Amino acid sequence: MKLTLAATMAACAGLLPSVSATIYYAGVAESSGEFGAWSATAQVGTGLPGRFGVDYSFISNSGVDIMAEKHKINLFRVAFLLERMCPLSYGLGAKFNETHFVHFKDSIDYITKTKGAYAIVDPHNYMRYNNPSSQPFSGSIIGNSSDPAAATTAQFGAFWGELAKRFADNEKVMFGLMNEPHDMPSSLNLANLQAAIDRIRQSGAKNLIIAPGNSWAGGHAWTQGGSEANSNWIHKLVDPLNNTAIDIHEYLDQDFSGGHTACTQDAAKNLAGVTAWLKEHRLKAFITEFGGSNTPACVTMLNDMLDYMAKNEEYIGWTAWAAGPFWGPNSPCCTDGKQLGSLEPGSKAADGGPSLYDTIWVPVIAKKVPAKLQWSGPASVNGGTLSSK
């Protein structure tokens, strides 16, 4: 509750509407399901289909246990590759690699059924399909009608209709439509997202949908780019159930990439434009990627950013980037390439020293996990009943 004591008393007395900013869902991104497909020479097909548990994996159950039980988070965003769910020989669409799907579903079920938390399913594909070998730039843009090799907007819709049908009976699963669309027309991003929403709802699934902006879903860039700005497009999405939130990513380094150690970008200032846009269109948002290094400046700025989300009612959830069983000593963000480990519990830096889990997750981000989160009922843009775990 972000009310002053006086306001709280007034609200209790029925003098004010009891509206307040609330984070309902908080946690971590699980990145490893998209691993093993990268090639220095951009060799098409590298790591496909890949070996589950060897080239890639989705979660470590013991890591999820620590996150859910010790740190009491209720949200995990789980990355996978479209080219593994829908092998190139099948094409993007409703036909899945059932072996791969079972591995993925096992992870989602572990999070949602065994641990009782919520999960965002995250096709980590940058709105591209057919060549993840040099992500985030390789592959045909979905729906690019000038590219004969590109999957179509309709195929993307069909993929989502099928995935939605398979998770429609699990109200704790949220549908993150796509990780970081970029360098494409915003009209096409909108068309692809709308096709996905249409097919999800046609399948009967009522699950919360999370729709990303173009330009890497960057919050700071939301209102930039003239007619291409996300602020001119994304509110045009139509969800007959009004259960679609916006997906935003925001890093604190100079170029917002999450590649650098130094934090120099003030989130409150940089998110002001997208927050005003959310308010204008009465939309809610998740920040599903953010992070920082273990410098004093980053600690301050991460705290400021988490406080900013907590006090602005437009933000209902967040996941920090990133945990995941396959990072080893490598770092998911914010280290200028230094191997400081990840947010995965038990992870260590290359020299055996403390990891980002030890220096950033435990003392900083985990401390901002609200004491009360939603632990039951459908994931919703309106949130649900809050309780402590």
The residues annotated as belonging to the active site are 180, 289
**Least distance to ligand NAG, CB of residue 64, Å:** 21
Full DSSP string of 105-123: HHHHHIIIIIS--EEEEEE
d(CA 28, CA 48): 26
Q: Is 52 in the site for ligand NAG (CB under 6 A)?
A: yes
Give the residue with the Cβ less far from ligand NAG, 215 or 261.
215
Give the residue with the Cβ less far from ligand NAG, 245 or 287.
245
Burial 338-364 (b: 16+ CB within 10 A, else e): ebbbbbbbebbbeeeebbbbbbbbbeb
Contact range with ligand NAG by CB under 6 A, out of 96-104, 111-119, 190-198, 216-224: 96-104
Q: Is 87 in the site for ligand NAG (CB under 6 A)?
A: yes
**Least distance to ligand NAG, CB of residue 146, Å:** 4
3-state DSSP of 359-378: HHHHHHHHHHCCCCEECCCC
d(CA 286, CA 271): 12
d(CA 230, CA 226): 9
Give the residue with the Cβ less far from ligand NAG, 85 or 365.
85
Residues 216/184, Cβ–Cβ less than 8 Å? no
Give the residue with the Cβ less far from ligand NAG, 214 or 342.
214
Contact range with ligand NAG by CB under 6 A, out of 61-69, 93-101, 193-201, 251-259: 93-101
Burial of 50 (0-12, 13-18, 19+ CB in 10 A): buried
Q: Is 147 in the site for ligand NAG (CB under 6 A)?
A: yes
**Least distance to ligand NAG, CB of residue 53, Å:** 9
Q: Nearest CA to 25 among 138, 99, 118?
A: 118
**Least distance to ligand NAG, CB of residue 51, Å:** 6
Q: Is 96 in the site for ligand NAG (CB under 6 A)?
A: no
Q: Say which residues have a Cβ less than 8 Å from residue 307's Cβ, sequence separation at least 6.
A: 368
How far apart, in Å, do the first and last CA atoms of the chain sit? 18
Q: Nearest CA to 196 among 244, 144, 232?
A: 244
Give the residue with the Cβ less far from ligand NAG, 52 or 233.
52
Give the residue with the Cβ less far from ligand NAG, 87 or 136.
87
Helix (H) or strand (E) holding 305: helix 296-311
Segment 326 to 365, residues that bind ligand NAG, using CB under 6 A: none
CA-atom Rg of the chain in angstroms? 20
Q: Is 241 in the site for ligand NAG (CB under 6 A)?
A: yes
Residues 35/52, Cβ–Cβ less than 8 Å? no
Binding ligand NAG (rule: CB under 6 A), the pick from 32, 74, 133, 144 is 144
Segment 180 to 209, residues that bind ligand NAG, using CB under 6 A: 184
Contact range with ligand NAG by CB under 6 A, out of 35-43, 139-147, 299-307, 322-330: 139-147
d(CA 229, CA 386): 35
Give the residue with the Cβ less far from ligand NAG, 370 or 383.
383
d(CA 77, CA 358): 20
Q: Is 382 in the site for ligand NAG (CB under 6 A)?
A: no
Binding ligand NAG (rule: CB under 6 A), the pick from 4, 41, 146, 227 is 146
Q: Is 45 in the site for ligand NAG (CB under 6 A)?
A: no
Residues 333/259, Cβ–Cβ less than 8 Å? yes
**Least distance to ligand NAG, CB of residue 257, Å:** 20
Binding-residue total with ligand NAG (CB under 6 A): 14
**Least distance to ligand NAG, CB of residue 214, Å:** 11
Q: Is 100 in the site for ligand NAG (CB under 6 A)?
A: yes
**Least distance to ligand NAG, CB of residue 147, Å:** 3
Strands 75-80 vs 118-123: parallel, antiparallel or unpaired:
parallel
Q: Which residues bind ligand NAG (CB under 6 A)?
A: 49, 52, 87, 89, 97, 99-100, 141, 144, 146-147, 184, 241-242
